[in-house]
Amino acid sequence: MTGIPRDHPRYESLITREKIVEGVHMGITSHQGLGAQGRGEAFDYLIGERTTGSAAVAERAAVAWILRASNPVISVNGNTAALVPESLVALADVTGATLEVNLFHRSDARVHRIIEHLRAHGAGKVLGSRGDRRLDLSHDRGIVDEEGIFSADVVLVPLEDGDRCQKLVEMGKTVISIDLNPLSRTSLSSTVSVIDNVTRALQNMIQFAKDMKSDSQENLQGIIDSYDNRKVINDALYAIHERLKLQSDEMGIQWI
Ligand code: PTJ
């Protein structure tokens, strides 16, 4: 895929970028997805390109919600399909969640290409091609499947735009977002805001799901009850603040 040497200090980040470019070439990722990836990279840099303790708490709570749900759905867009197809399929498998393709820049051809791409990575049933229901939104992210996102009780929305997230919450659903920007409308309106790179977040969630799969309903409910999303957002902002401060100190720049 690339000529990026393994010992390059920014290898992981550059490989992720290559996957998005490849996704565009394959007709899976939108051109706008390149811009979204760039924004994500900037926030990841500020967070320190690591899963913070607080993000891990959110990932564990997210898994508890998914395992407790009766109809959990994982929403897949063009960026996540290109970056983490194996992880999406693995998380759906281990939790029993359903995959549904849902696109902002929607075309039937792209929906079908993403469904085929997920199948090539081991997915069974993938929803999203029927689009037989419409959420009250003026753009195509509102097109959903009746048996999937429309009737889901818990929806995982990696790299979302804020208004659908708000709409799903208004509909009474539990919304778990994965978004590196702690101040995005998505992060601010989700039930659980996972502020981590989707590449790390899904890996962690798969491991949590394996570990928690046999937990009692009471245990899962206990994790949900003790979860504080406001604290998770505050902690992410604090992590960014601390990193900027450390970097400024190292450079001898006066921190206000
Ligand atoms: O495939 P489509 O048509 O559904 O379009 C998908 C994109 C992502 C282009 C669309 O949803 C979009 O424009 O999203 P936004 O409004 O740019 O929001 C994307 C958010 O995801 C931003 O807050 C980014 O910081 C964040 N983000 C980008 N890359 C990552 C990320 N968060 C976690 N992990 C990433 N790798």
In a domain, 32, yes or no: no
Closest CA to 158 of 213, 220, 211, 82: 82
Is residue 156 within 8 Å of residue 71, measured between CB atoms?
no
Closest CA to 227 of 179, 192, 203: 192
In a domain, 21, yes or no: no
The protein residue with its alpha carbon nearest to ligand 1, atom 25, reads 40
Is residue 75 within 8 Å of residue 145, measured between CB atoms?
no
What pLDDT, on a 0 to 100 scale, did the predictor assign at position 148? 98
Instruction: Compute the distance between CA of residue 22 and CA of residue 14 in angstroms, rounded to an integer.
Output: 12
Atom of ligand 1 nearest to the CA of 42: 25
- Does any ligand 1 atom lie closer than 6 A to the CB of residue 100? no
In a domain, 58, yes or no: yes
Q: How far is CA 157 from CA 58, 75, 181, 252, 254, in A?
A: 14, 5, 14, 40, 39
Other C-beta atoms lying within 10 Å of the C-beta of residue 128? 25
In a domain, 144, yes or no: yes
What pLDDT, on a 0 to 100 scale, did the predictor assign at position 2? 63
Beta bridge partners of 182: none
CATH number at residue 135: 3.40.50.12640
3-state secondary structure of 177: strand
In a domain, 148, yes or no: yes
Beta bridge partners of 176: 156, 192
Instruction: Compute the distance between CA of residue 22 and CA of residue 42 in angstroms, rounded to an integer.
Output: 20
Domain limits for position 75: 53-237
Pocket test for ligand 1, best of 79, 111, 144, 163 (most atoms within 8 A of CB): 79
Beta bridge partners of 126: 99
In a domain, 225, yes or no: yes
What pLDDT, on a 0 to 100 scale, did the predictor assign at position 8? 84
pTM for the full model?
A: 0.96
59 C-alpha to ligand 1 centroid (Å): 18
Work out the angle between the directed axes of helices 32-47 and 229-250 (0-180°, nearest 10).
70
Q: What is the DSSP letter of 180?
A: S
33 C-alpha to ligand 1 centroid (Å): 7
Instruction: Compute the distance between CA of residue 165 and CA of residue 193 in angstroms, rounded to an integer.
Output: 11
In a domain, 5, yes or no: no
- Does any ligand 1 atom lie closer than 6 A to the CB of residue 33? yes
- Does any ligand 1 atom lie closer than 6 A to the CB of residue 30? yes
- Residue 241: enclosing H or E segment and its boundaries? helix 229-250
Give the strand pairing for 126-127 and 98-101.
parallel
215 C-alpha to ligand 1 centroid (Å): 33
In a domain, 171, yes or no: yes
From first to last of its 256 residues, the chain has per-residue pLDDT tens of 568 888 887 888 889 999 999 999 999 999 999 999 999 999 999 999 999 999 999 999 999 999 999 999 999 999 999 999 999 999 999 999 999 999 999 999 999 999 999 999 999 999 999 999 999 999 999 999 999 999 999 999 999 878 999 999 999 999 999 999 999 999 999 999 999 999 999 999 999 999 999 999 999 999 999 999 999 999 999 999 999 999 899 999 887 6
254 C-alpha to ligand 1 centroid (Å): 34
- Does any ligand 1 atom lie closer than 6 A to the CB of residue 46? no
31 C-alpha to ligand 1 centroid (Å): 12
Is residue 71 within 8 Å of residue 45, measured between CB atoms?
no
The whole-angstrom distance between residue 236's C-alpha and the CA centroid of its chain comes to 16
Pocket test for ligand 1, best of 159, 161, 185, 196 (most atoms within 8 A of CB): 159
- Does any ligand 1 atom lie closer than 6 A to the CB of residue 150? no
Question: What's the total number of domains in the chain?
Answer: 1
